[in-house]
Structure 1
Amino acid sequence: MRKFVLPVLVALALTACQAETPEPDAGYGLAGYNPKASESEKAACEAQGGEFRAAGLGGFMTCFTTPKDAGKSCSKSTDCSSNICLARSRSCSPVTPLFGCNDILDADGRQVSLCVD
């Protein structure tokens, strides 16, 4: 009888130590995952006049916008609303975000390279 009771008591004790299983977030299989996120992001992007399309090596969907001062002459990054002054043309970035490697002017007007993927 002892051989039967001891394992049962140990099993009951271990069962009491089990953590509660968290409920899935918002009914989705992965916490925080929302399958309709890209639809709402696309709508928000288009509402601000942007274009929602794949970008970078990863191909993630990104909202591209044209800054109001695109092409304006600049001598440092703070001259542009996007904070990106292209070094070669000394003009504000024509689009944000600006993917790839580009020579830009920093806040002090020094030329630096910026690579974004």
Structure 2
Amino acid sequence: MHMITRPSLILPFNKIALTIAAMLIAFWLSACSITPSSTTAVQPKQTDGTAMNDKNDPFSYQACVYPPNEIVQACTAKGGAFLQQGRLGCYQCLVTYTDAGKACQDSTDCQGKCKNTGEFIAADVKTQSGQCASDSSLFGCYQTIEKGVAQPAICVD
């Protein structure tokens, strides 16, 4: 039995497959910067309720490579640890909050965010309460409560 192959069909398919693979790799590399982002992430608050703002702030680090030692030390000093988070597995300083689960009506009542614990409700519904977040992770699906008003739900990959 003799099999007939058509090399004229194999060559264009290989070029298309390589082009698609190159595009996906380029997209992936552009999503994970090698250096920290110039924009600042939403920063968790210190226990006194003020935002953390210093040069080595571990909460502003956004890259898919392990952070420099001084940033890791700053994260550890705040009781956190760098863990890979999200779909791309980029590093984030993750701090566990001591007030996790406490009833709240605003994020000022918490070390982190005040989150709705039940099913998502319509945004702008008033007189809502939630619970303080368990940690500083920005990933997952959640709905925050600010000044007793439900905010739009968000899912972050």
Task: Name the TM-score, length of structure 2 as normaliser.
Answer: 0.45
Percent of aligned positions with the same letter in both sequences? 34
1:85 aligns with 2:114: yes
Answering whether residue 116 of structure 2 is matched by residue 76 of structure 1, we say no
Q: How far off is 1:67 after superposition? A: 2.6
**Alpha-carbon contact 1:86-1:92 (below 8 Å) kept:** yes
Q: Which residue of 1 aligns with 2:150?
A: 110
Who is 2:87 aligned against? 57
Determine if the alignment matches structure 1 residue 42 to structure 2 residue 82.
no
| CA–CA distance in structure 2, aligned partners of residues 61 and 36 of structure 1 | 6
Higher Cα radius of gyration: 1
SS of the aligned residue for 2:138 comes to coil
Distance 1:91 1:99, change over 3 A: same
**Residue ranges of structure 2 left out of the alignment (5+ in a row):** 1-33, 37-64, 119-129
**How many residues were matched structurally?**
85
Contact kept in structure 1, 2:66 and 2:91, CA below 8 Å: no
Give secondary structure in 1 for the equivalent of 2:149: coil
How far off its partner does 1:63 sit?
A: 0.4
Q: Which amino acid aligns with 2:89?
A: G
> Structure 1 unaligned runs (5+)?
1-31
SS for the counterpart of 1:44 is helix
- What is the match of residue 98 of structure 1? 138
Which deviations, in whole Å up to 9, do the C-alpha atoms of 1:32-91 show, x marking residues without a partner?
959884332222211211021101112111100023422211123332232x11212621
Q: 1:92/1:63 Cα in 2 relative to 1: closer, same or farther (>3 Å)? A: same
**TM-score normalised according to structure 1 size:** 0.57
